[in-house]
Structure 1
Amino acid sequence: MALAWLLGTFGAFWLTGLARYVENPDQLCIFVLGATALFAAGYAARIARRPPAPRVSRSYSGNRLRLVRYLVLASAAYYAVRSLARLSEFGATGPQSIWTSIQNPATGYSNKFDIIAQNVGDPSPLILLLALLGVLGTALMPLLVLHWRSLSVGVRLAGMAGMALHIAFFLFIGTMKGLGDLVLMLLGGLLVARATLGRRRRARSRRRVALMLMAGAFALFLLYMTYIHASRSAEFGVGELIRPSPAISQMLGERAAEGISSTLFYPTHGYLGLSYNLQTPFEWSYGLGSSFSVANLGEQAMGVDPMAHPAYPYRTEGQTGWPALTYWATIYPWLASDLTFPGAALFMGLVGWLFAGAWSDAVSTRRVLPTLIFSQLCLLIAYVPANNQLGLSPDATAGILTLLVLYAASHLFGRRRPAAQPTPPAFVRYRT
């Protein structure tokens, strides 16, 4: 699935009108296919080292179930507090104002930038605290899906309420990012759940339900994405790069055609930005180029100016005019700002290794940490054609770093701990 997405978006790019602007097609193809091949090689090497083991039992200890319930409740509370704080910050006055903005998403999208421009400065203490607790934002959807049958009705309702407030905020500001994240984390949880159901007839039926849920969530997201982009095109117009085909406009109407063209533009146009960045000479950004949130932290906490050694996309903007923060350029130029482009390709091999390791552990044990890491890596891979998503916001960066540190610590101390003696079967104990 990951390869289908990475290669599919790159192949679709060459079928769009954007391909005619590429001045270095050979260089672009060699790099993208090479980085994708290293990702696949890292994945294959990790799976060959330790393939996912089939589960023997679907029962869990009471301690693990309590941990899952506490995490779902804590994550639901985190989403609720963060969403209410953001709704207040962006001017929501109640359900009616949210509903009005949902009916006209382009207006909410425009107002979002006005609020951001007015609130430039130091964030509030609550926002800082929520950013540090970003790991709680990784838990809700995967655990809610994977352990749904083991959770009480109250825990389920709390989780759904937190998720509803999260959706309400992003609908209020007319932005798809938060909805896409939920769909991707839902996908991660459903993939793990589907892989651990077994082979019985009842399990096969549940696997079909899981597939239907994945397909339904993706279809709803895609339909709303087309609608919201059609609304934006009607409000702001479309640029030359997003202009739809006249044939599609005649079949579906101008507004629908513009929405579809804008939707297809989203996962493909980053490769044009990448082609421009590949032609820009390397200048090290001193560790502040790969992650937007780390650069902001360095600026606010240590007084470091990130633009003293700007990342690839900023320097490319000055040379070619491709806007660094308006259009995308894939994840690679951001990584290459610190790692060089060959280093960014090698980094994708490491991502493939971690992706396979988290998947293997999640499928064979259904433990919390590998399941959450797998879901977060689903986010990273889905946004490869766009940007470094896990390094974009403070809460996302804090979340993945916390998970990786805990995962490494669990493996380190788990290896040092002496192996437990297996418990003999009951008939052996009774006979003894």
Structure 2
Amino acid sequence: MAPVQARHATAPLQGLSWDDGAERRDWPTGRESRGRRRAGEWAPLAVALFWMLATFGAFWLSDLSDRVPNPEMLCAFVLGAVGLFALGYSAQILLNRPGRTTTTPPAQTTWVRRLVFLGAGYTVALSLLRLSALGATGPQDILNGLRDPAAGYLHKLDAYEQGIGQGDALVSLLTFLGVLGTVLAPLLVVYWRQLSAAARVAGIVGLSFDAAYYLYTGTLKGLGDTAILSAAGLLVVITAPRHSLTRRRAAVVIGGVIAAVFVGYLAFNQAARAESFGTSDLTRPSPALVDLVGPRAADGLTATAFYPTHGYLGLAYNLQEPFVWSQGLGGAPAIRLFLQETFGVDTSAHPSYPERTEYATGWPSDQYWSTIYPWLASDLTFPGAALFMAVVGWFFARVWLDVTRTRRILPLLIFAQLWILILYLPANNQLGMSPESVFGLITLLILYRASASRLVRV
């Protein structure tokens, strides 16, 4: 045992397993084992394809489809990109031989607890700085934002226009440490049973402060990210053969509750915005729905359906515009903003695809969505963006196999981040919308590459 202990002391996170301690069971054997493993390997692809195709199909069932100027081109591109994503994922799964799953002693979960504490501290600090910059003074302000999300959202937009909170040195430092903002939700979900009571409380406090900021500002982004990261962790729990059927069923129920709460707040939030800002022609509810549930609820339900589908109309407009290279600045709006605020770089000379489309068609790039594809195409062209989806699918499958076979933390965190990219695909490049998300993902990818070279083993 001594050599093993020494090795773990120098590489404390190597092979860390969420199966340790609470449920020490042997894998199923024979046909049952092969069936569970095979189903688990393909589960992320099935969920991703369902989401991509369901949102695209819902778009064609809406009134927005009547405005599409190039339906054949839109269908060919979207279905081609989705097909390439599936091809990349399938190639990774089929070319990888089944591997044995590794486990480590329960003591290794100490390092997960430390990461949870670090993530909680980071999230609390960043949330408090942002709340303070926007003038929040206590819980009552948070409750006011919860009651009237439209007012909170307008307050945030006004603050941004005035430059409030921009250029803060401490916020900039925390931006570079964005990798700590990626750990909390997935680690809490996957390792809940192995965490100490103090770590659980710290994690919940961290997520609560994060939610408080987004509720105060009436913003859906952070709440949606947390819901997605939690759901990614639940998928790991559901597909792990070592977990009991009861635990997997509990994970499904918890996932359903998270989805219901988020969708409910989404409808409430969008109804409040529609009431305060007015309802555009694009989100006007049908008279039959108004008669059935009332005008406010009808606005909320219509906006909720509009939320994940209208980006395809923006994509159709973008597909009509010629390619102009954005010099590497078009894919991630957060990088453009960071360069402007931190280094004074003028990025206006190299607009992104959505910005150029706004000039040409009037489709507002900062108000309505255009899917992730025009952001990628700003530097890759649209054919390049479609091919990039094959790379995303291939890498998505690779980290998922790492998650299920090696139990390492880095693949788990990257897997959760990729779910944000995939589920926001009908909207925008969500991972590129905030600086801490960009730097967090970059850090994870660098560490993952280093781990492949055995420079880092996490």
Alignment TM-score, normalising by the size of structure 1: 0.92
Q: For residues 434 and 86 of structure 2, what CA distance do their matches in structure 1 show?
A: 27
Q: Which residue of 2 aligns with 1:80?
A: 124
| C-alpha spacing 1:56/1:367, structure 2 compared with 1 (3 Å) | closer
Q: How far does residue 49 in structure 1 lie from its aligned partner after superposition?
A: 1.9
Residue 149 (structure 2) aligned to one of 90, 105, 113: 105
Q: Which residue of 2 aligns with 1:45?
A: 91
Q: How far does residue 378 in structure 1 lie from its aligned partner after superposition?
A: 0.3
Number of paired residues? 411
Residue 91 (structure 1) aligned to one of 135, 143, 163: 135
Q: Which residue of 2 aligns with 1:226?
A: 267
Q: Is the 8 A contact 2:102 2:407 kept in 1?
A: no
**CA displacement 1:130-182 (0-9 Å, x = unmatched):** 11000000000111111111110001000000101111111111111111101
**CA displacement 1:376-416 (0-9 Å, x = unmatched):** 0000001111111111111000011100110011012279x
Residue 191 (structure 1) aligned to one of 214, 221, 235: 235
**CA displacement 1:90-112 (0-9 Å, x = unmatched):** 11111112112211111111111
Q: Which residue of 2 aligns with 1:310?
A: 351
**CA displacement 1:234-266 (0-9 Å, x = unmatched):** 222200000011111111111101100011111
Q: Is the 8 A contact 1:185 1:378 kept in 2?
A: yes
Is 1:336 aligned to residue 377 of structure 2?
yes
Q: Is the 8 A contact 2:314 2:363 kept in 1?
A: yes
Residue 140 (structure 1) aligned to one of 184, 187, 212: 184
Letter in 2 for 1:29: C
Q: Which residue of 2 aligns with 1:13?
A: 59
Residue 390 (structure 1) aligned to one of 427, 431, 455: 431
Q: Is the 8 A contact 2:133 2:164 kept in 1?
A: no
1:115-126 matched pairs, under 5 angstroms: 115-119=159-163, 122-126=166-170
Q: For residues 213 and 259 of structure 1, what CA distance do their matches in structure 2 show?
A: 24
Q: Which residue of 2 aligns with 1:243?
A: 284
Q: How far does residue 232 in structure 1 lie from its aligned partner after superposition?
A: 1.4
Q: How far does residue 114 in structure 1 lie from its aligned partner after superposition?
A: 1.1
Structure 1: gaps (5+ residues):
418-432
**Bigger Cα displacement from structure 2, 299-308 vs 344-353:** 299-308
Q: For residues 434 and 145 of structure 2, what CA distance do their matches in structure 1 show?
A: 24
| C-alpha spacing 1:264/1:155, structure 2 compared with 1 (3 Å) | same
Q: How far does residue 296 in structure 1 lie from its aligned partner after superposition?
A: 2.6
What's the RMSD between the two structures over aligned residues? 1.7
Alignment TM-score, normalising by the size of structure 2: 0.87
Q: Which residue of 2 aligns with 1:296?
A: 337
Which secondary structure state, in structure 2, belongs to the residue aligned with residue 14 of structure 1? Answer: helix
Structure 2: gaps (5+ residues):
1-46
Q: How far does residue 121 in structure 1 lie from its aligned partner after superposition?
A: 8.1
Letter in 2 for 1:13: F
Q: How far does residue 231 in structure 1 lie from its aligned partner after superposition?
A: 1.4
Q: How far does residue 120 in structure 1 lie from its aligned partner after superposition?
A: 5.8
Q: Is the 8 A contact 2:331 2:429 kept in 1?
A: yes
Q: For residues 191 and 249 of structure 1, what CA distance do their matches in structure 2 show?
A: 37
1:198-209 matched pairs, under 5 angstroms: 198=242, 203-209=244-250
Q: For residues 277 and 374 of structure 2, what CA distance do their matches in structure 1 show?
A: 29
Q: Which residue of 1 aligns with 2:363?
A: 322
| C-alpha spacing 1:51/1:171, structure 2 compared with 1 (3 Å) | farther
1:329-368 matched pairs, under 5 angstroms: 329-368=370-409
Residue 112 (structure 2) aligned to one of 65, 68, 90: 68
Q: For residues 273 and 310 of structure 2, what CA distance do their matches in structure 1 show?
A: 18
Q: For residues 196 and 365 of structure 1, what CA distance do their matches in structure 2 show?
A: 12
Q: Which residue of 2 aligns with 1:420?
A: none
Q: How far does residue 22 in structure 1 lie from its aligned partner after superposition?
A: 0.3
Q: For residues 121 and 70 of structure 1, what CA distance do their matches in structure 2 show?
A: 30
Is 1:212 aligned to residue 253 of structure 2?
yes
Identity percentage of aligned residues: 51
